[in-house]
Amino acid sequence: MAGFRITSAVVAALAVVAAIDAAGFIATAAVFGVKGLTVLPPAYMVSNIVVAMAAAGAGGYVGARLAPAGRVSVTVGVLFAVYLALGVLIGRAEASALEPAWYQAVVALLGACGMLSGVVTERAWDAARRRA
């Protein structure tokens, strides 16, 4: 049963990340006027990195919140590994000559940092709830 709850928590967390990422990337493309195959403005890339960090932070929070009792570390470890693997795969698939070579790697790595921030936030709030 714990395996199912771990899997459910990971899937839910990744769904949150995907939804926020998609909405954020569409919004930043509209704000910066990025259409089709154009050279990406630096402000657009920085905005996407911030969106990816925020989305991953929300996903990390959700993953830690939904993790079964006593299995938060395992759930977060699986979530982190899947997030990084997907980041590498998607980064390679979306890599373009119109963006710097470092861009996709930075999105994945800083997104992973955001995810860990979300996990730490949830754990701190959980500890505060238990003390109250």
Alpha-carbon distance of 3 to 28, in angstroms, equals 37
Full domain range(s) for residue 44: 2-131
DSSP category for residue 37: S
pLDDT at 90: 86
User: Residue 81: what pLDDT?
Assistant: 95
Q: What is the pLDDT of residue 8?
A: 96
Of 103, 108, 109, nearest to 41 by C-alpha is 103
List all residues 6 or more positions away from 61 whose beta carbon is below 8 Å from its beta carbon: 118, 119, 121, 122
Under-70 pLDDT residues of the chain? none
Q: How many domains does the chain have?
A: 1
CA-to-CA distance for 7 and 24, rounded, in angstroms? 26
